[in-house]
Structure formats: structure tokens, C-alpha cells
Structure 1
Amino acid sequence: MSSLPDYTELSLSEQIAQMIVVRASGHLFDQQIRFPQWEPTQDQLQDWVQNWKIGGVILLGGSAAEISQRTSELNRWTEIPLFIAADIEEGVGQRFAGASWFPPPMALGEVAKTDLNQGKEYARTIGAITAKDAQALGINWLFAPVVDVNNNPHNPVINVRSFGETPEIVCELSAAFIEGTKDYGVLTTAKHFPGHGDTAIDSHLSLPVLEMGVERLEAVEIPPFQRAISLGVDAVMSAHLLVSCWDDALPATLSSTVLTQQLRLNLDFQGLIVTDALIMGALDEVASPASLPVLAIEAGADIILMPHDPQVAIEAILDAVNQGRISPQRIVASVARIWEAKEKVIKAEKGDFLTELASPTAENTTGEVLRGSLRLKNARTLSIPETPCRNLVIVDDLLACDFLNEAHSAIAVPQKMGYELQLLGQAQVFPEPPSNSPLTLIQLFTRGNPFRGEAGLNEATKALLQKLLTEGCVQGIVVYGSPYVFGWLEDYLPSSVPYIFSYGQMSESSSIALQHLFDLSVG
């Protein structure tokens, strides 16, 4: 077990570096890096960890087996234990193939609408399995749960990542998730303060503005954070939002009114305040890349997540301290909180959980949540047609659709029934629809996705679906992901066309949905 040195013996530069968390690829080799603008090479990352002594890494990409090797490698590079984080909101398998991948949090909210206790039990189980899987792979910081109340159906960035549309449901389920993690030495994070649920703008692209009054903010957006804080959540992540009723000049991430006055003092939060990624487009027009880390620390942040250049960030913060803009005591206060969190991580009893990844309990929970949150419209069983039919599968982005392959039930099951596959991506160019379309089963995979700037269906997809429904060639529709798609579809859907909605996008979700649609026993 690694131990922590006395942080007061670190140089000021090294103390500041402990406040920096950088992004890195979960893959093992440089040629596998998918986002070179954000993910350093092995040599660069090793230099940051070993020589600059940055405090942590957030990983994205790779399989569970790769992540296990990757985290071991990272820890070999440093004498100071690292934060190793990941955006894990739907189980470790959401990011790293091979581990458990659960339906999105809003599926639990759907269950909780009719059975709150059952929803809470699922959330608690998912929290426990997620923490256990993360710990098995060497991940010690979950950037979860999302405690935003998704009360805007056009929200492109939160959407089904939220547990629900009311503060009551979000409070109960996020609390249960946090409780489920308690037996494992993994940190949790309530995000995105003070609430990113009522926006129609993706903060990855531009700055959303919340125009609501203080009463509404405190009645709807704040309670889930209060509940998480009362349960001892380890960190709170800021949102890149302009919350005009609190601060009409600076985004929450850069506002001392929001982070220090409201979160630290009024809500009495004593844990880590972590920024959302500083590379996001919401902050591009606010300040320069070198200024953003300084402004965030002045606002009250302890952890600077994904600065544009960590070396530039460290040097800019160091200059601010040397010039008297930030006090050395302010840095020490953050490092003391960082040390407290790292002590929790390294003192936790580590078990050998690697063989338990994707356990039967996880598999059963996934199936139960998918079945419990399934929605049916115009429910009737379809017969397998004798004439040639098309399985039209539409995804958000063909180039970013890692979960869909020929073995996925959405592809494999219709193929066994004689359907011919047509695969389209909303982010790609749609072909002109044929004038006489064959009988068509439509399967649509869509949800809110960061960096897309939209949630659900774009205009090209709407035009295609509207044309097919008007022609009368649609046999049935299955939507996987966002429940808000149905609001548009309902206006055009004939009563003769059965419709099924599933929150999940994994193979099991298609297996369950198609079993309902065709009365099949799907393996």
C-alpha cells in the first residue's frame, strides 16, 4: 500500500500540480489515441506524472483489461498516489468494455415513478457494483452521480444521465447510489453544481445561461446537492453555466459567489470542489486558457480538471501566488483536502474483484431495470413477414457507435428473421429515401450526447421518419435511449404501428424489446 508524504514538504509548484487532473487515453499505445488534442502521448503523460507531479488522471477509452494495466502503470510512475478518475455514470462498462454496463440513471427514475423503493434498491446495487468494478481496475474516483434535475426535454448534455425530472426522484436515487458505494474506497462526485438540468445548450460547445430566480433554483436544482452533501459525497463538480440570479458576470466554475459563498459556506460543503473540464467551449470566450485555472482557484476550486496545458496551468497559478493574487494558504487548504481524499482511497481495503466483473448480479439487475422501465405504445405482436423486409437502424454517429456490431441483438435478431440491414448515422449524410420503401422495422438509437449540441432527432432524421410513416411502410418502431423522442413521434405515429421504448442501448435492451415486439425467445 502506498503512503502519502507530508504535503508541507512539497514545493509550492508541486503542491499546485497536485490540484491538476489531466485526461489520458485508456489504451496502452500511442497509436491508439483517438483524441490527440486532449490525450498526451505516453512520454508526455509520464513526464507530467513523474516530474511535474500532477495530482491525477481521468481515463477514457480502452477495455477493462487495458484499464487494469494502465492504472498499474500510472501508479508505478509516481511516489505520490494518483487520483485515477472516470466519467462512470452507468457502470464501468459504459466506458470500458468488459465490465458491467447498466441502463442510464433515468431508467431507474422511470421505475421509481411507480415503485420508489425498488428504484432506490436498483440505484444502491448499481452504486455498489460500479464502485467495486472501478476499484478492481484501479479507478478510485467516480465522476458520478449526476444529480442534475433534467426538467428541460431539449437538454442535449444531461438528458438521460439524470435520474429524473423532479428533485424528489433525483434526491432519493442519487442518495441511494452514493450509499451503495460506501463499502469501497472509491470517491464519489455530485455534478454539475448548481444544476445543469434546465438548459437547451450544451456547455461543451457554448455557455448556457440560467435566467431562473433564486427561489426556483433553491427549490428544484439545489436539493439533490444538499442531500448528497449530507451523505458525505466526496466531491462536487461545478457547471459551466452563467447563473444570473447569483452571478451575472462569471460562469459558476469561475464564480466565488457560486463556489465559495453558496457551495462552501452556505451549503457547508467540506469536500473537494472540482471544475468541469476547462477545455469545454462554454469557457472559450470568458478567459484565456492560461487564465482559467487561476480564476477557478480564486473562485474556490480545489481540482482543475483538464486544463488546456497542465504545465501552463501550473506556471500561471504559481505566478498568481508569487504576485500575491492567490495566497499560499489558499493552495495549502486545497492540498489538505486532496490529501484527506487520497488517504481515504489508499486506506481502503482492496479485494481481488477482477474476476467478478460483469457478475450475474449485475446482469440480472440490468435486465430487471430494462424490463421495469420499458414503455409500450399501440402494443401488439408482429408476425415475421414472408416478403423481404428492411431493418433500418439509425444511430447518432456511425463513427462513435462503439457498442453496436453484428452480434448486437438489434442487428443479429432481425437478420435471423430474414430482415436486410440498412445502417444510417444522424451525424452523417442521409441518402435520399427511395420512392417505394419496403416494409421496414425502424430501430433508433439516440440520446443526449456531449459535443453534438442537440438531443434526439435532427431535421434529416425527422424528415425520413415522417416520409416512411406517411407511406405506410413502417412495421414497428423501437427507440433506444432518449424518452423525449416519443413526444415528436407521437404526432405522426399511426395506431396500427407498435412502438417500444427502452432506455438502454446495450444488446440486452434490444433483446428484450424485440422479444416483446415479435413474441420471441431471444437468446
Structure 2
Amino acid sequence: MLDLEKSHIQQEDREILMHPQTGGLILFSRNYECPQQLDELIKEIRALRAPLIIAVDHEGGRVQRFREGFTRIPAMQKLGQFHDSEPERALALTEDVGWLLASELIAYDIDMSFAPVLDIDDDFSDVIGDRAFFSNPESVIQLAGAFIDGMHSAGMAATGKHFPGHGSVKADSHLALPVDERSMAEIEAHDIRPFKALLNRLDAIMPAHIRVPAFDDELVGFSKPWLVDYLKGKLDYQGVIFSDDLSMFGAATVGDIRARVHSALDAGCDVALVCNSRKDAELALEYVEGQTSLRGDSRLWRMRRSEQYSLPMLKAQARWEQTVEQINKL
């Protein structure tokens, strides 16, 4: 899964999007100017290459790539705070927020958002912080479960991240190499609980670029013991595994981008994300040249949105209007 450098398609973008090993495209804020531009961009991408999974990190709060013309989704922590005082109303609103977020993206023919965050906010990790629903596993399970139900009702697959949990690690894997020094007993009793409880409702999982020496010396996203033996084996997970961005600093210890792609796929990732570096994207495609194409993987193509509707149709629904009204009251 690769990205675009600008808000329009350049010739070099066409070349990488047409590559048989390109299974998806992730969009960022730099690719967005306004709703009309996004609509035209997506149509051009679809005309150029099908099938292709189009994704975005669109969680709400500080991680919302498209703002103008879209509902401002609150940080998930806001929903957690509401849940702390009025649990039933908060769960209903959280499901509606998941539905609204997914529906607005689907209206522009975007397949998926990498959401929800299943990390627990231990008031320790700045990079997670208010992206997490709450500070205890049970509340995260309830809120994230409602959010997933909302996404599914809109026709969008759900991706839980960042397995096995990034909330108790201080360093930001975009900039450093986070290490979780806790025991596996502590991690299983706390961070892993939301992933385990929601496993059968998740369509995909994204592992964290963190190291847990108590279990394996490799970073989780490059660790066969974590992804194959634990996640797929012990937990019997059957869904898709997306790597986190392999261009992040936290992944650099594995080697150059070819080594990272090899290690991620060998460890059990189904899709390798290579973002924010055109040179790395080209090297990654060269490395996987001639390997089995992802086009035959039915699990990946199940990540495509299952519904399609226009924005006017969406905004005509009472549920959309009521959800926006409730969000604005938070």
C-alpha cells in the first residue's frame, strides 16, 4: 500500500499504481484540498486501476485527514469521557460516530479508515493520548465495539490498532524506537484485552512498531512469534494484517526498505505500508517484483467498502443530522 505526493496524480504515480504488486493507496492531508478535488481524484484513481483499496487514517480529533466539507469527528477520548458519566448514551453516540465517519468516506468512494484505536490511554504515550477511548480495558472494549458496529453498519471494514498496545510506551515510533519493558502477564491483563475481546469483529489489525523484550526481541510488526504464533495461533485471528508505515523511524533498525518489506511480509503481515518516500516505494516494488500478486487474496478485497451512496443521500438521513448535532454538543 503506497501513497501520493500531491493532491493530483502525476505520471510517476500512475506507474506505481499500475504495478501488479500495488494492492492499495493511502491518502494524507497533503492529498486533500476540498470535497470536489477529492471526488475528482478518487474517480481518476478508480479509472486508472481497479481493484484497488483506497484507505485513509481518519480517526477523529488530531488524526482527521479531511476537514473542510467533512464533519469534525471528536477525539475518541471525548467519547470515553462521555461514557464515564452517561454510559448508555455514550455507547449509542459512539456507534453513530463510527457510522458517520465511515459513511462520509464511503460517499467519496473511499474504502476504509484505519480505525479504531484500541490502545489504552495510560496517560503515558503522547502519540496515543486522546486518540484512545479510555484508560481501562473494559471501557475501551465497549466503546470500540460500538464504534466497530457503526462502521460495519455503514459498509466499512474495521482495523484495530496498534497491536499489542502502544498506550503504555512513552516513545513515538514515528521518531524513535519504543520499548515496552513490562512482563507479558501485565500486557495480556491490560493492553491485549481489547484486541482479544474484539478479535472476531475486526476485519484487520495493524501491529505497533514497538519491541517487547519479554516476548520477542524483534519489533512486533516484524515478529513471526507475535504475528503468526501469538496473534494467528494462540488467538486464532483470521483477518488481514496491515503493517504500520515501514518508513517510520521505529522500523529503521530492521534495515533498508527492502529488508523491512521482506521482514514484515515474512513475519505474517499481508500488506506492507510504504509511505512518505517515493524512493522507498519504488525500491519496495522492485523487491517484490514477480512475487505472488495480492489480487488473488480474497481477504484483502473484503476490505473494500460494501455500500455506495452519494453525499446528498447521506445528509438527507435523519441519523446523519442527529449525529452531527450530538457531536457538536460534546
Same fold (TM over 0.5): yes
Q: Does 1:127 align with 2:105?
A: no
- Looking at structure 1, the residues matched to 99 and 55 of structure 2 have their Cα atoms a distance apart, in angstroms, of 17
What pairs with 1:64-83 in structure 2 (closer than 5 Å)? 64-78=35-49, 80-83=50-53
**Counterpart pick for 2:322 among 361, 369, 373:** 361
**Counterpart pick for 1:46 among 14, 21, 33:** 14
**Counterpart pick for 1:115 among 83, 86, 97:** 86
**Counterpart pick for 1:281 among 225, 239, 249:** 249
Structure 1: gaps spanning 5 or more residues: 1-20, 29-40, 322-330, 371-523
Q: Does 1:24 align with 2:4?
A: yes
Q: CA deviation at 1:290?
A: 1.6
Report the 3-state secondary structure (helix = DSSP H, G, I; strand = E; otherwise coil) of the residue aligned with 1:304.
Answer: coil
- Looking at structure 2, the residues matched to 354 and 82 of structure 1 have their Cα atoms a distance apart, in angstroms, of 25
**Counterpart pick for 1:95 among 53, 65, 68:** 65
Q: Does 1:106 align with 2:65?
A: no
Structure-2 change in CA distance of 1:241 and 1:155 (3 Å): same
* Equivalent residues of 2:116, 2:160 under 8 A apart: yes
Q: CA deviation at 1:344?
A: 5.8
* Equivalent residues of 1:87, 1:144 under 8 A apart: yes
Q: CA deviation at 1:26?
A: 6.6
* Equivalent residues of 2:160, 2:205 under 8 A apart: yes
Larger radius of gyration: 1
* Equivalent residues of 1:139, 1:186 under 8 A apart: no
Instruction: State the one-letter code of the partner of 2:140.
Output: V
- Looking at structure 1, the residues matched to 137 and 60 of structure 2 have their Cα atoms a distance apart, in angstroms, of 20
- Could you tell me which residue of structure 1 aligns to residue 112 of structure 2? 141
- Looking at structure 2, the residues matched to 216 and 141 of structure 1 have their Cα atoms a distance apart, in angstroms, of 32
Identity, % of aligned positions: 29
* Equivalent residues of 2:73, 2:101 under 8 A apart: no
* Equivalent residues of 1:99, 1:357 under 8 A apart: no
* Equivalent residues of 1:91, 1:129 under 8 A apart: no
- Could you tell me which residue of structure 2 aligns to residue 495 of structure 1? none
Regions of 4+ moved over 4 Å: none
Note the alpha carbon deviations across 1:313-338, whole angstroms, 9 max, x for none: 1332358x6xxxxxxxxx57x665x4
Q: CA deviation at 1:93?
A: 9.7
Instruction: State the one-letter code of the partner of 2:207.
Output: S
**Counterpart pick for 2:127 among 157, 167, 170:** 157
* Equivalent residues of 1:89, 1:143 under 8 A apart: yes
Report the 3-state secondary structure (helix = DSSP H, G, I; strand = E; otherwise coil) of the residue aligned with 1:27.
Answer: coil
Figure out how many residues of one structure are paired with residues of the other and give that number: 320
Report the 3-state secondary structure (helix = DSSP H, G, I; strand = E; otherwise coil) of the residue aligned with 1:223.
Answer: helix
What pairs with 1:333-372 in structure 2 (closer than 5 Å)? 336=296, 338-343=297-302, 345=304, 348-354=306-312, 356=314, 359-368=320-329, 370=330
What's the TM-score once normalised by structure 1's chain length?
A: 0.58
Structure 2: gaps spanning 5 or more residues: none
* Equivalent residues of 1:93, 1:100 under 8 A apart: no
**Counterpart pick for 1:220 among 172, 178, 190:** 190
- Could you tell me which residue of structure 1 aligns to residue 152 of structure 2? 182
Report the 3-state secondary structure (helix = DSSP H, G, I; strand = E; otherwise coil) of the residue aligned with 1:182.
Answer: helix
* Equivalent residues of 2:93, 2:323 under 8 A apart: no
**Counterpart pick for 1:295 among 238, 246, 263:** 263
- Could you tell me which residue of structure 1 aligns to residue 215 of structure 2? 246
- Looking at structure 1, the residues matched to 40 and 84 of structure 2 have their Cα atoms a distance apart, in angstroms, of 41
Note the alpha carbon deviations across 1:175-194, whole angstroms, 9 max, x for none: 10000111233221100011
* Equivalent residues of 1:240, 1:276 under 8 A apart: yes
- Looking at structure 2, the residues matched to 185 and 341 of structure 1 have their Cα atoms a distance apart, in angstroms, of 15
Q: CA deviation at 1:341?
A: 3.7
Q: Does 1:229 align with 2:188?
A: no
Q: CA deviation at 1:215?
A: 1.1
Instruction: State the one-letter code of the partner of 2:83.
Output: A
Question: What do you get for the CA RMSD once the two structures are aligned?
Answer: 2.3
What pairs with 1:317-466 in structure 2 (closer than 5 Å)? 317-318=288-289, 336=296, 338-343=297-302, 345=304, 348-354=306-312, 356=314, 359-368=320-329, 370=330
Normalized per residue, the structure richer in helix is 2
Q: CA deviation at 1:354?
A: 4.6
Instruction: State the one-letter code of the partner of 1:303.
Output: V
* Equivalent residues of 2:61, 2:131 under 8 A apart: no
* Equivalent residues of 2:61, 2:75 under 8 A apart: no
- Looking at structure 1, the residues matched to 132 and 236 of structure 2 have their Cα atoms a distance apart, in angstroms, of 24
Report the 3-state secondary structure (helix = DSSP H, G, I; strand = E; otherwise coil) of the residue aligned with 2:144.
Answer: helix
- Looking at structure 2, the residues matched to 58 and 357 of structure 1 have their Cα atoms a distance apart, in angstroms, of 25
